[in-house]
Amino acid sequence: MKQLTIIVPDGQSNLSTIACIVGAYEVITRANDYWKETGRKELFTVALAGLSDKAEVYGGLFTVKSQVHISAIAKTDLIIIPSLDRSHLKATQENQLLIDWIKKQYKDGAEVASMCTGAFLLASSGLLDGKKCSTHWSAADTFRNQYPRVQLQADQLITDENGIYTNGGAYSFLNLVIYLVEKYYDRPTAIYCSKIFQIEMDRNSQSAFTIFTGQKLHGDDMVQQAQSYIESKLHEKISVEDLSARFSVGRRNFDRRFIKATGNTPIEYAQRVKIESAKKALETSRKTVNEVMYEVGYSDVKAFREVFRKITGLSPLEYRAKYNKDAVV
């Protein structure tokens, strides 16, 4: 039988931490039960492990009790790191023993999965250096600055690389759990669990949920001015040549600095700003897709739809149907 260890972080836990722990425990337990009902043995023994006996959450309103100290687990097959609260740096500093244990277990053959902002704890171990990773879209800018060696894929819901799994934000951790069930058990068990817990299978993007605010924590004044200028010219087509000339910087150097600071090319940044404005219009108004398209500086319907789908994973009509019931009616 395999060993699954669900981490109980020492301090820095919040309600999302509890949700991740409970959700993972319940789905894996049900997958075990399904295997027993179909004549097979349980696949996983599940243990909640941490550095202290319990973690208090929300001013002591909830308490998560560790079943075992991590030092008592000599070997495990799969580690799940739940979401952390927003004090990411403090959380990693206070869990160094846990981080060292995770590194040793991975070296000894364990696989590791992080949920939401649990990616910060995983990244602090160095195991994500050079690898792809996802986390909650709202923490993406902070994560990029803190862990520049990690290839953050903020739009992806799940990443899977060399025995390390990560997922996007909030309750999308359930999609990761179903993904792990299929990986470790089989497809029928994953389908069964998805139906029992009503979790949509095979989701691969969190783009439709992202609110683009622009990476502004980089400290490059010229790029920040360029970002502000792009955002103020929402309804216009912006030439990168004109933009670089406006700030007296060569085109190649301008592109290089912009990409380094924001993670996007100037064109991609302008597209994301425009599409974010279009999303809000589709969510809150009865404007047609064409009206919204013209308002954000597009005149070609096909081009607008392609960029919109590329960024959100949905067509403009699909997006409006998803988020604006009044407009659909």
In-domain check, residue 215: no
Kindly state whether residues 95 and 151 are assigned to the same domain: yes
Kindly state whether residues 39 and 186 are assigned to the same domain: yes
48, 65 contact by CB (below 8 A) = yes
Tell me how far apart the alpha carbons of residues 167 and 161 are, in angstroms, rounded to a whole number: 12
Kindly state whether residues 292 and 155 are assigned to the same domain: no
In-domain check, residue 6: yes
Tell me how far apart the alpha carbons of residues 147 and 78 are, in angstroms, rounded to a whole number: 24
In-domain check, residue 247: yes
What integer pLDDT is reported at residue 203 of this predicted model? Answer: 79
Kindly state whether residues 70 and 177 are assigned to the same domain: yes
Beta strand ranges found along 12-108 (DSSP E): 44-50, 54-57, 62-65, 68-69, 78-81
Kindly state whether residues 165 and 305 are assigned to the same domain: no
CATH (domain of 63)? 3.40.50.880
Q: Please say which residue of 144, 173, 207 terminates a domain.
A: 207
Q: Quickly list DSSP for 187-255.
A: HHHHHHHHHHTT--SS--B-GGG--------S--HHHHHHHHHHHHTTTS---HHHHHHHTT--HHHHH
Angle, nearest 10°, between helix axes 15-37 and 173-184?
30
What integer pLDDT is reported at residue 95 of this predicted model? Answer: 82
Kindly state whether residues 124 and 234 are assigned to the same domain: no
Q: What is the pTM of this model?
A: 0.77
Kindly state whether residues 315 and 279 are assigned to the same domain: yes
Q: Please say which residue of 148, 176, 207 terminates a domain.
A: 207
Q: Please say which residue of 179, 207, 235 terminates a domain.
A: 207
Kindly state whether residues 112 and 6 are assigned to the same domain: yes
If one counts the domains in the chain, the total is 2
Kindly state whether residues 50 and 190 are assigned to the same domain: yes
Kindly state whether residues 18 and 166 are assigned to the same domain: yes
Chain-centroid distance, C-alpha 155:
7
Tell me whether residue 101 is exposed, middle or buried, using C-beta atoms within 10 angstroms of its C-beta: 0 to 12, 13 to 18, 19 or more: buried
Q: Which range of residues forms the domain containing residue 112?
A: 2-207
**Residue 213 pLDDT > 80, yes or no?**
yes
In-domain check, residue 213: no
pLDDT in tens, 113-168: 999 999 999 999 999 999 999 999 989 988 988 999 999 998 899 999 999 999 99
> Alpha-carbon dihedral of residues 180, 186, 191, 194, nearest 10 degrees?
-20
Assign 170 a pLDDT band (cuts: 50, 70, 90). confident
pLDDT in tens, 61-116: 888 889 999 999 999 999 999 998 766 666 677 788 999 999 999 999 999 999 99
